Structure 1
Amino acid sequence: MTGPKTTPKRVLISDALSPAAVAIFRERGLVADLRPELGKDKEALAAAIGAYDGLAIRSTTKITAALLDRAPRLTVIGRAGIGVDNVDVPAATARGVIVMNTPHGNAVTTAEHAIAMMLALAREIPQADASTQAGRWEKNRFLGIELTAKTLGVIGCGNIGAIVADRGIGLRMRVIAYDPFLTPERAVEIGVEKVDLDELLRRADVITLHVPLTDKTRNILSAEALARTKPGVRIVNCARGGLVDEAALRAALDAGHVAGAAFDVFSVEPATENVLFGHPNVICTPHLGASTREAQENVALQVAEQMADNLLHGAIRNAVNFPSISAEEAPRLRPYVALAERLGSFLGQLTEAPIRGIRIAFEGEVAGMNIRALTAAAVAGALRPFLEGVNMVSATEVARQRGLVVETTTRTGGGSNYGSVLHVTVEAEDMPRDAAGTVFQDGTPRIVEIRSIALEAAFAPQMLYVRNADRPGFIGQFGTLMGEAGVNVATFHLGRDRPGGDAICFAAVDEPVSPDLLRRIEAIPHVKRARVVRF
């Protein structure tokens, strides 16, 4: 007599995916429905999603909180590619849905596209092709430049940027790189000269961007930055739209300060119109960076393997919102993972100078837990404000690739007012930044120390961090500014090292804090720094 049959888990594939990837799902005993038309039809996708346990996507399908509300069975989303900006990751996390990506499957392809765009830009190949095929033999019109001995400036020297740098060196270019996480040792290893952003702008003949789009990198090539570039510079963007102020770039092209630009990505996509379109010295492609047969196959096979392992065995690989944790330890460890990630994120958002290392100290009961997962969570939090695709699984490897030193210490004995305390320190080139936290009995992570100053605060989605001298009048002026701006303060926490010494304010707010309000807070007498941090 046999037991009841188990209903196979079902996977929906809502974007085009390799047939070999579909075969992996089916060979593992999963029901896989390939319906790529749903990626462009959000209403049809919402109507269908409720019947599936897994969802495999590329870049077309948009995963919103509203869509997730229609997916009660969904436990895993697999993105074939590195970027997950088409997925509402916080909403997925809140619903217990794991979001996986494939961070390395298309790195070579994207790097090669950047090099191809650079070569096409240098020799005006698209313009010359159009002219020749139109019957005009304009041999003297297209006078390009030779790349040998030119200076290539790489903004962002992670996995893709390092490959571009290597190819640039192969073209006998001088390669300089700006990356806050690139250590001098790693720079020597890959053969580039590490410089700050201003020096890169001043020296580079060609600038290529390979950073994610974050609050810190948005418009990294602003009008002001473009004005500091070398006259005749050429700019290549195969990373993310929004890294370059497109209107400012058009003005610089019209003025002749920028000799040319090659863009594969745009601030609004699909880009049916753009301020750069139509300029004779601009080359555009429709987000083809990862579009080769090899890359499409690699990321498709990788995401199918990862999702199948998760649905059948509970394994978690390359998750952007959860670390590798066994089923037995997950309930106890989960709030400490959240604490470690938020402490790291807090310090990462405050850090602007290049990071040299990250130290995590575990004190009390937490020292006997899975500190590897907790370390990865803290590192991921610290790096995520700068680097796209960093997750709790890949964080320590990303740090290693950039030469960042990650140190951990444990102390099982007491010495604190709390049973368990995590101390996180981010070592930057200008100064170290540190914070500590614990988990209360109700499972709520709390921050209990900032810059060695004791205070106690729960994390909120948006908070204000203010460092000031402990002088009378700050609280009143702060409250007045917030009230005048219509920003409600949900919680307000203060700490100081001594009367009249250094003080810290950490406040949760219900409304967005505008740049103007932040500037006015910083203008309060004795305020040394004010920052918005988000969790």
Structure 2
Amino acid sequence: MTTKPRVLISDALSPAAVQIFKDRGVEVDFQPDLGKDKDRLAAIIGEYDGLAIRSATKVTPKILEKAARLKVIGRAGIGVDNVDIPAATARGVIVMNTPFGNSITTAEHAIAMMFALARQIPAADASTQAGKWEKNRFMGVEITGKTLGIIGCGNIGAIVAERAIGLRMRVVAFDPFLSPERALDLGVEKVELDELLARADIITLHTPLTEKTKNILSAENLAKAKAGVRIVNCARGGLVDEQALRAALDSGHVAGAAFDVFVTEPATENVLFGHPNVVCTPHLGAATSEAQENVALQVAEQMSDYLLKGAITNAVNFPSITAEEAPRLKPYIALAEKLGSFAGQLTETGIGRVRITYEGEVAGMKTKALTSAAIAGILRPMLADVNVVSAPSIAKERGVIVEEMIRDAGGDYDSLVTVAVETERGERGVSGTVFADGRPRIVDIKGLKVEAEFAPSMIYVSNEDKPGFVGRFATTLGDAGVNIATFALGRDQPGGSAIALVEVDGPLPADVLARVQTIPGVKQAKPLAF
């Protein structure tokens, strides 16, 4: 009987998400306060296949070391700052987020902050409720006809752009990844940053925090901005130099700022606090009941799909695989990993380059996932801890060049995967396919046609095609009590080079391998394990 996968929820998550796990056949343990107790979390995490979190749980390398069964971490929300991605990747743990569940809510908060800034609503509210009635003090500005500059026009930025156009604003956007076609569809003008700074009456930021975007509104760029500009940040603390912004507010060059995010959070004190033209909220961008429900439901669906079907959605450290693709991909992932393992076990020197070629129907599948599997297979004989999630980054760290080639037309097979490994001694290639029974097979080794299934214990022999080899080989194994299960042969021409791929019952003893290597005509003999 197959045991149900177990998921731990260690942060406050909607009860509806708990129900989704249960309805889908996943055993769920709901402990919403556990994330605050890292020692307790470390003590029990080893019992679970999945971990569902929000922002309170910190998934550190120490936690991951204890997570022997863990396959997936699901973050209900967009930010995964509280998960050590490299450590999770190294352990083969998929890390998912829900990047679109709170997009509308965050975009609406940015629009709300823009209005609050333009009409000084927080200060006017405080004044009025204090009984002052300072009607002449709060002179606002109209939004209509103003130019909105959007830095980062991805999912949330695009929603802000659509809302702003509906408010009859002109919208310019700086985003290196925004295509001209997408800009046209949105009705925004794509510009460089300097032009946006010079033209925008209001600037709103909707970009991730990276080395390239950190302090994108620096003192230098704030100085380039239009005098009287207003700045809204509901994206990430650190996109704006807070000290430089305070100076620009004090000088009047920046007319106002509305911030929902800060460099240090929780922000109990900040250089922007107390300025009369600053509006602040405590990271409320995603804080609506609808958004929290959406991301909770999404993360439960995504994690269930992965644990039950192998589907991968919104993973930050592995290619996405749909629920429909997963069953089709599964045998090809096994094929790619075994082909890689075959090449890796026969490679005795440093690997410089790996070339993986996909031909026929497999060329239209998610080849990135297959490539990860092949690289894992190649590296595992040398690096035991490598897995399909960590393999690409480990290969990169070691300077291994990985190339993918796609060919639509196959030859003798509907689908063909070829893994070629290049070392200082030359190149070794092995090809395979998946037959109708769903089992992967080798069909070509170094250009020699041979058909064989992968088996737990095998022997690979390259030899001269001379009479008597097969008899001597079989006798050598028979005399040692080693039973041959299957025997596949291939050669380039009569009397030329030949190969044998032999399945045996159980691992081959070292002394028997040594005897095989002494058979006349044998060039190489290697035991293989799959």
- Per the TM superposition, whether the score is higher than 0.5 is yes
CA distance in 1, matches of 2:106, 2:217: 20
Q: Which amino acid aligns with 1:232?
A: G
Residue 410 (str. 1) matches residue 407 (str. 2): yes
Matches within 5 A, 1:151-170: 151-170=147-166
Secondary structure of the 1:166 match is helix
> Residue 75 of structure 2 is aligned with which of 75, 79, 84?
79
Q: Which amino acid aligns with 2:167?
A: L
> Residue 366 of structure 2 is aligned with which of 348, 370, 373?
373
Q: CA deviation at 1:41?
A: 2.5
Residue 129 (str. 1) matches residue 125 (str. 2): yes
- Partners of 1:364 and 1:412 within 8 A in 2: no
- Partners of 1:205 and 1:233 within 8 A in 2: yes
- 2:88 is matched with 92
Relative to structure 2, which stretch is displaced further, 225-234 or 289-298? 289-298
- 1:138 is matched with 134
Q: CA deviation at 1:377?
A: 9.9
Q: CA deviation at 1:38?
A: 1.8
Residue 218 (str. 1) matches residue 214 (str. 2): yes
Q: Which ranges of structure 1 fall in alignment gaps of 5 or more residues?
A: 338-361, 379-391, 393-406, 423-437, 443-535
Q: Which amino acid aligns with 2:357?
A: E
Q: CA deviation at 1:29?
A: 2.8
Secondary structure of the 2:330 match is coil
Computing the radius of gyration over CA atoms, which structure comes out larger, 1 or 2? 2
Residue 308 (str. 1) matches residue 301 (str. 2): no
Q: Which amino acid aligns with 1:12?
A: L
> Residue 274 of structure 1 is aligned with which of 266, 270, 275?
270
> Residue 329 of structure 1 is aligned with which of 332, 339, 342?
332
CA distance in 1, matches of 2:60, 2:318: 19
- 2:174 is matched with 178
- Partners of 1:13 and 1:33 within 8 A in 2: yes
- 2:43 is matched with 47
Residue 235 (str. 1) matches residue 228 (str. 2): no
- Normalising to structure 1: TM-score of the pair? 0.64
Q: Deviations over 1:228-284 (max 9, x none)?
A: 000110000011111111111111111111111111111111111111111111111
Secondary structure of the 2:58 match is coil
CA distance in 2, matches of 1:66, 1:95: 12
- 2:242 is matched with 246
Residue 208 (str. 1) matches residue 201 (str. 2): no
CA distance in 2, matches of 1:302, 1:336: 35
> Residue 115 of structure 1 is aligned with which of 111, 115, 126?
111
Matches within 5 A, 1:355-434: 365-367=357-359, 369-370=362-363, 372-374=365-367, 410=407, 420=420
CA distance in 1, matches of 2:339, 2:152: 31
Q: Using a 3 Å threshold, how does the CA distance of structure 1 residues 309 and 376 change in structure 2: closer, same or farther?
A: closer
Relative to structure 2, which stretch is displaced further, 312-321 or 85-94? 312-321
Q: CA deviation at 1:133?
A: 1.3
- Partners of 2:114 and 2:232 within 8 A in 1: yes
- 2:292 is matched with 296
CA distance in 2, matches of 1:98, 1:287: 27
* Count, aligned residues: 369
Q: Using a 3 Å threshold, how does the CA distance of structure 1 residues 335 and 158 change in structure 2: closer, same or farther?
A: farther
Q: Deviations over 1:190-224 (max 9, x none)?
A: 10111100000011000000100111111111111
Relative to structure 2, which stretch is displaced further, 62-71 or 148-157? 62-71
- Normalising to structure 2: TM-score of the pair? 0.65
Q: Which amino acid aligns with 1:410?
A: R
> Residue 30 of structure 2 is aligned with which of 21, 24, 34?
34
- Partners of 1:237 and 1:263 within 8 A in 2: yes
CA distance in 1, matches of 2:197, 2:338: 43
Q: Which ranges of structure 2 fall in alignment gaps of 5 or more residues?
A: 341-353, 372-388, 390-403, 411-417, 431-530
CA distance in 1, matches of 2:32, 2:301: 19
CA distance in 1, matches of 2:407, 2:269: 56
CA distance in 1, matches of 2:11, 2:66: 19
Q: Using a 3 Å threshold, how does the CA distance of structure 1 residues 225 and 259 change in structure 2: closer, same or farther?
A: same
Q: Deviations over 1:482-504 (max 9, x none)?
A: xxxxxxxxxxxxxxxxxxxxxxx
